Amino acid sequence: MRSFVTNDEYLPPVDSCHLFSRALCPVKSPQRNSHNQARFYSFVAYLLSYILIARIQARSSMMAVSSQAKENEMSASLQAAVAADTYEAAAASASDSGLLSKDGVTPQLAWQLFSSGKAVLVDVRTAEERAFVGYVPDSIHVAWATGTSLTRNPRFVRELEAKTGKDKTILLLCRSGKRSALAADAAQKAGFTRVFNVLEGFEGELDEQQHRGVNDGWRYHQLPWVQA
């Protein structure tokens, strides 16, 4: 029987760490290695894009839910204000929800109060504005200023009292809420106890392109109006 004896001096030295590393990461050609790196970077870019898109979609979803909740809250507040038996109760309900401020009422609340018979709506713009731009059906017209030069109407308070009286709830509407604010102040000083400015006006403020009705206003909120 032959005996097999291994003599260490005849074996080449073995680097176990080197063998282990080669087993895990076998040596590849430079071309193949470059190809794998490109695939790796492509995968990383795809993964980052996926994460970014997911975050954007999640944020958009949260904003949509928040916007819907705000609309529902405003709708509920409007219904509560309109359901109130008196204007005082309606004003208190609207004030709590931010629909009524010391400066006036929002177009939405103004329409709800007007359409439900709890207030009269007075358009203080010029006759030309009503004819060419439009107006709210069944609104009363008492111009705060007249003509293209907007000359102050000295009979405004007397005309307002003649058409509405001093005890009714009166909502004043102009183009952007500025003239109606002045008119409301003058009416209050003349003894009107329930006169309010309709915020934003019929057309709203000018935007960066000098256009109205883009961000606010009666028409922007798609409330009823007609054009002659």
Residue 118 in contact with residue 90, Cβ under 8 Å? yes
> What pLDDT sits at residue 72?
52
Q: Among residues of the chain, what percentage have pLDDT more than 70?
A: 65
Locate the domains of the chain by residue range: 84-197
Q: Rounded distance, CA 60 to CA 53, Å?
A: 10
**What b/e string do you get for 80-100 counting C-beta neighbours within 10 Å, with b at 16 or more?**
bbbebeebeebbebbeebebb
Higher pLDDT, 79 or 119: 119
**Residue-wise DSSP of 29-93:** -HHHHHHHHHHHHHHHHHHHHHHHHHHHHHHHHHHHHHHHHHHHHHHHHHHHHHHSSSHHHHHHH
pLDDT tops 90 at residue 200: yes
Residue-wise pLDDT tens digits, 46-96: 777 778 787 777 776 666 555 555 545 544 555 555 555 555 655 555 555
Q: Rounded distance, CA 54 to CA 43, Å?
A: 16
The reported pTM is 0.60
> What pLDDT sits at residue 48?
79
E-state strands within the chain:
100-101, 104-105, 120-123, 140-141, 145-146, 151-152, 170-173, 195-197
Residue 205 in contact with residue 198, Cβ under 8 Å? no
17 pLDDT tier (thresholds 50, 70, 90) = very low
> What pLDDT sits at residue 38?
74
Provide the CB-side half-sphere exposure for 19 (13 A, CA): 4
> What pLDDT sits at residue 124?
98
> Token pair of 162, please?
């003649």
Residue-wise pLDDT tens digits, 123-179: 999 999 999 999 999 999 999 999 888 999 999 999 999 999 998 999 999 999 999
> Token pair of 107, please?
């177009």
168: left (phi over 0), alpha (psi -120 to 50) or beta: beta
Which of 3.40.50.300, 2.40.160.20, 3.40.190.10, 3.40.250.10 would CATH assign to domain 84-197?
3.40.250.10
- Residue 197 pairs with which residues in a beta bridge? 172
Residue 97 in contact with residue 73, Cβ under 8 Å? yes
> What pLDDT sits at residue 56?
78
Residue whose C-alpha is closest to residue 90's, from 117, 64, 128: 117
Residue 121 in contact with residue 163, Cβ under 8 Å? no
Residue-wise pLDDT tens digits, 23-47: 444 545 556 667 677 777 777 777 7
Average pLDDT value for the chain? 77
SS3 120: strand
Residue whose C-alpha is closest to residue 213's, from 123, 107, 110, 122: 107
> What pLDDT sits at residue 16?
46
